[in-house]
Structure 1
Amino acid sequence: MQISAAWRLIARVFLPFAAGYYLSYLFRTINALISGHLISDTGLGTADLGLLTSVYFLVFAAAQIPIGILLDRFGPRRVQSALLLVAAAGAGLFAMSTGLPSLLISRAMIGLGVAAALTAGLKSIVLWFPRERVALLNGYMIMLGSFGAVTATTPTEYLLAWIGWRQLFEILAAVTGATAVLIYIVVPERVITPSIGSIPATLSSVFGDRRFWRIAPLSATCVGSAWSLQGLWAVPWLADVERLGREGLVGQLFIMSIVLCGGAWLFGTTVHFIRRRGVGAETILAVVAMFFIAAELALILRAPLPSILPWSVVAIVGTATVVSFAVTADYFPPELAGRANGAVNVLHFGWAFLAQYGTGLILEQWSTNDGHRAILAYQVAFGVNVALQIGALVWFALPSSLRSFTGWMGSIAFFAPVSVAEAVEPVVPYEQAIVLIPMDGDAEW
């Protein structure tokens, strides 16, 4: 690829989708900062707040499979621009909402509207850039998008000092709508022609692959829990357990967000280089899971460490999607990229919903004392997550013979017919044998 053509692709393909993912991350994490305002203005309880924040993940997860199919069928440009208009409408409605029902509806609209933000960006990378650059560019995509989490800390805190949270969401609605128009106008189309003998572009090809079911539970329980913690429950922990004031709390969230961005770059770069040495991305995922479990245990057991250290590990794990998507890029060809990434995201966001809402339900079993909940409440809630992550890690480490039935799990769960050959034999990693046809002459291969 010539340098000038590469920079045109960065400007016309990579950056517009990165902007969409930035907004997705901002919407995902902003409730942690405005939770106090929501409680005081609308009278929400702890469980209500958990449900309101986590409904984003529920809708996001439910939309991943249909969106994956739409991305493979219509391309990321049209799907992303249309859905971002839904997110803009949801943000506008959120700004006007006064009670839990309308807040839930608008939050669900936001979740649906940004549900394609990451997978559309990853699909565009697979379509437009060489395969050996996919993991690196995925890391940069998630790194840039993660600046949305940075924006949802100190910058938003300063902004809230000038305007209310309702005016903030009005601004977000306008910016989201403008990004939708930008993507539709600027991003070119791309046609992909599958190679002869490639596997059919069906969901059964993804859910019938035993390798997928090896890494998916581990990735979901770790990444989903990290999103749940940073997106909401880090704030009550820091206030109730660490007894931080508002300034210290926002400062720690800001540090976590900066670490989050660095983690995306670190994972993308690491996967890019270790692949050249024949090391699989699955190994990185297992190591990340062990560090994550250790960090959570340090919080639960109140290890004599500065709390920013384990919370920084939690933040970094939120970007381990770079590793997960690198694994699926190895498992499946580009014509299945939308479905494969969507399948992984179903589990990521589905688990984030369960972890976020479930944590709220557990915490509410303890009453507050002087406005603070007991440490034991958080230890129990976080401990349940850790136990399930350890189970997923054990599952990952089991011999393949003990996981042989999982090829049938996808077909049963998603009512997709899977042939015996698909269920028993994993899909062979593809070779780069497809034809990418530029529509406007911008790219040279």
Structure 2
Amino acid sequence: MAPQHTKRAIIIWVTALMVYLAAVFHRTSLGVASIEASERFHLGPAALGTFTVLQIALYAAMQVPTGMLVDRYGARRVLTASAVLMGLGQLLFAFATTYPLGLLARAVLGIGDAMTFVSVLRLVAAHFPVRRYAAIASFTAAIGALGNLASTVPLSLLLANAGWTWTFAVAGAVTALYSVVLLLRVRDNPAGVMPEPVDRTETLGTVLAQVREAWRTPGTRLGFWVHFSTMFAPAMLGLLWGFPYLVQAQYLSEPAAGLLLSLLVVGAIVGGPAIGTVITHHPEWRTPMVVGYLVSALAVWGVLLGWPGGQVPLWLLVAAFAHLSMGGPASAIAFALARDYNPMRRVSTATGVVNVGGFVAITVSALAVGLLLDLTAPLGPATGFRIAFLSVVAVLVLGLWRTSVWWRRARAAVFDAASRGEEVPVQIRRRSWDLAPA
């Protein structure tokens, strides 16, 4: 790639990357604002949890449609629409004083958020050589995590000083106005390169057939459960329940709670490149690493929920949140599985299927925690959170079980393919616990 083209590609990537950073900020902004939101809208825990449940459910539901929109209309248009939607959603949230309006605001925000990452990755694929795609995509995710970091301590300080309306109104207005920059600076294809013809004959039936084929692939199913199991707990804590847990059940100050939540982001930024390097050189370690993380995460939750008296020492909270933060980087293994076990014509569909897994788990766990907190309100927040977080353990156990099941089935598929003389994505040795040959 010529230096001039490289410079243009970097400008386009950075311009688009700012939208993804804003998307992560908006997505996680309720984490440190959950207590203020419950007071502003007069909500109990279950109703408060619905904000996050709705937003994440819409995000998951929009993954496949977003891919289709990008294919048909280009990343520039979709990314511009996402900036406008996120800005309008946050502006509405800033001035909303009723629960229905608050829900509508988070719904608009969730739809805009869902359209960002796929659009940015499409621009990366169009403007950079194939050999640079994986590195730039990983760097994109790591920089996006800085949006989460901005939604912890800085946002809590802004809320304390500028107030709810000004904080969210300025964030929304800046995001919406940034759509003008996108229109002016972003191009779907490099200069002089004609866009590929768009296939407009694809029907709903053919899309669903692709999804079914991807779902029937053991490697895709394994990826779904890996993503389901690894990313939901740190995301659920960062998006909603971590802040009230630390303030109300562990009696930390709000700035201290925000600082502790930032560990989830720092761990993701540091852990992503580290795990990516390991699985690049040792792909056979991918699922064992996931299983090891899940087993140790269960031990961490056991200590947090079983600590005598309920109030966990600060050093142990730091260690626990640092460990749980590795769930986000570990979830990237799911996308490597989707890529390796599907033909190229179906990789994007399989990736979308896998991506749904973690957001389904976030939705279920966030809603369950809110419902259980409502039911246990008379027992006080400390006891309430200990009981409510048992639902997180239940989701984790389910994910570990299904990951283990599909790990064996995916391995069996690899052995069967190897016996037929086909190329296999990973060289593995048969173990005593593997499924018997078909």
Question: TM-score by structure 2 length?
Answer: 0.81
1:215 maps onto 2:220 in alignment: no
Q: Is the 8 A contact 1:123 1:337 kept in 2?
A: no
Q: Does 1:364 align with 2:374?
A: yes
Once the two structures are TM-superposed, the CA of residue 402 in structure 1 deviates from its matched residue by: 8.0
SS of the aligned residue for 2:161 comes to coil
Residue 311 of structure 1 and its aligned partner are, at CA, apart by: 0.9
* Structure-2 change in CA distance of 1:211 and 1:100 (3 Å): same
1:253 partner amino acid: L
The one-character-per-residue Cα deviations of 1:250-299 (angstroms, maximum 9, x if unpaired) are 2212333322322333344444x42xx66575555444444444433343
**1:331, CA displacement in angstroms?**
4.3
Amino acid at match of 1:157: S
The more displaced of 321-330 and 113-122 is 321-330
User: Could you say if the C-alpha distance between residues 264 and 192 of structure 1 is closer, same or farther in structure 2, counting changes exceeding 3 Å?
Assistant: farther
**Counterpart in 1 of 2:418?**
none
Of 183-192 and 165-174, more deviation after overlay is shown by 183-192
Which amino acid letter does the alignment assign opposite residue 257 of structure 2?
L
Q: Is 1:226 equivalent to 2:225 in the alignment?
A: no
Query: Structure 1: which 5+ runs fail to align?
Result: 195-199, 405-425, 430-445
CA contact (8 A) 2:223 2:335 kept: no
2: CA distance between counterparts of 1:192 and 1:347? 31
State the distance in 2 between where 1:18 and 1:269 align: 23
AA matched with 1:313: H
- 1:72 — aligned with what? 71
The one-letter amino acid of 1:355's match is S
Secondary structure of the equivalent of 1:364? Answer: helix
Note if 1:242 corresponds to 2:242. Answer: no
Contact 1:84/1:180 (CA < 8 Å) preserved in 2? yes
Range with bigger deviation, 129-138 or 150-159: 129-138
Amino acid aligned to 1:150:
L
Identity of counterpart residues, as a percentage? Answer: 23
Corresponding letter in the other structure for 1:223: M
- Which SS does the other structure have where 2:336 is aligned? helix
Question: Cα offset for 1:192?
Answer: 4.7
Query: What is the distance in 2 between the residues matched to 1:387 and 1:283?
Result: 16
| 1:307 aligns to 2:312 (yes or no) | no
Matched, 1:393 2:398: no
SS at match of 2:29: helix
| Deviation digits for residues 225-255 of structure 1 (CA, Å, limit 9, x no counterpart) | 3311221121232234432122321221233
**In the superposition, relative to structure 1, how do residues 371 and 353 fare at CA in structure 2: closer, same or farther (>3 Å)?**
closer
- Residue 290 of structure 2 contacts residue 330 of structure 2 at CA under 8 Å; is this kept in 1? yes
CA distance in 2, matches of 1:235, 1:81: 32
SS of structure 2 residue aligned to 1:43: coil
User: Residues 18-57 of structure 1, C-alpha deviation per residue, up to 9 Å, x if partnerless?
Assistant: 2122122112211111111111222111001111122110
Q: Which residue is equivalent to 1:34?
A: 33
Amino acid at match of 2:67: G
Provide the rounded CA distance (Å) in 1 between the counterparts of 2:161 and 2:220: 48
| Residues 1:138 and 1:368: Cα distance change in structure 2 (over 3 Å) | farther
- The 8 Å contact of residues 19 and 116 in structure 2, kept in 1 or not, is answered as yes
8 A contact 1:206–1:339 mirrored in 2: yes
Report the Cα offset of residue 184 of structure 1: 2.9
2:267 to 245, 259, 262: 259
1:204/1:108 CA distance change after superposition, 3 Å: same
| SS at 1:264 equivalent | helix
Which residues of 2 match residues 99-248 of structure 1 at below 5 A? 99-190=98-189, 191-192=195-196, 202-248=210-256
Structure 1 residue 138 displacement after superposition: 2.2
Cα displacement (A) at 1:371: 5.5
Q: Which runs of 5+ in 2 are unaligned?
A: 190-194, 199-205, 415-421, 426-438
Specify the alignment match of 2:428 in structure 1: none
2:377 is paired with a residue of what secondary structure?
coil
Distance 2:72 2:100 in 1: 34
Pick from 327, 333, 340 the counterpart of residue 323 of structure 1: 333
User: How far does residue 338 in structure 1 lie from its aligned partner after superposition?
Assistant: 4.5
How far residue 187 of structure 1 moved from its aligned partner, in angstroms, is 2.0
Deviations 1:40-76 (A, max 9, x none): 2221110011111221101111111111222233332
Contact persistence 1:192–1:335 (CA under 8 A): no
State the alpha-carbon separation in 2 of the partners of residues 334 and 220 from structure 1: 23
Aligned counterparts, 1:19-98, within 5 A: 19-98=18-97
- Deviation for aligned residue 1:155: 0.9
Q: What is the deviation of 1:330?
A: 3.6
Q: Which runs of 4+ in 1 moved over 6 A?
A: 401-404, 426-429
Letter aligned with residue 296 of structure 1? W
For residues 427 and 74 of structure 1, what CA distance do their matches in structure 2 show? 36
RMSD of aligned C-alpha atoms?
A: 3.1
Moved more, 240-249 or 357-366: 240-249
2:404 aligned partner, one-letter code:
V
Say yes or no: does 1:339 pair with 2:349.
yes
Q: How many residues align?
A: 399
1:351 equivalent in alignment to 2:344:
no
More displaced 10-residue stretch of structure 1: 351-360 or 176-185? 176-185
The answer to whether the aligner puts 1:296 opposite 2:301 as a matched pair is yes
Offset at 1:88?
1.4
Contact residue 71 and residue 338 of structure 1 kept, 8 A: no
Q: Give the distance between the partners of 2:259 and 2:135, measured in 1 at CA.
A: 30
Q: Deviations over 1:110-160 (max 9, x none)?
A: 000110222222333333333443332222111111111110111112222
How far apart, CA to CA, are the structure 1 residues paired with 2:322 and 2:104? 32
Relative contact order: is structure 1 or structure 2 higher (C-alpha 8 Å, sep ≥ 6)? Answer: 1
Instruction: Measure the CA separation in 2 of the matches of 1:6 and 1:300.
Output: 51
Larger proportion of helix: 2
Letter of the structure 2 residue corresponding to residue 90 of structure 1: G
SS of 2:228's equivalent?
A: helix
Question: In structure 2, the residue corresponding to 1:143 is in which secondary structure?
Answer: helix
TM-score, length-scaled by structure 1: 0.80
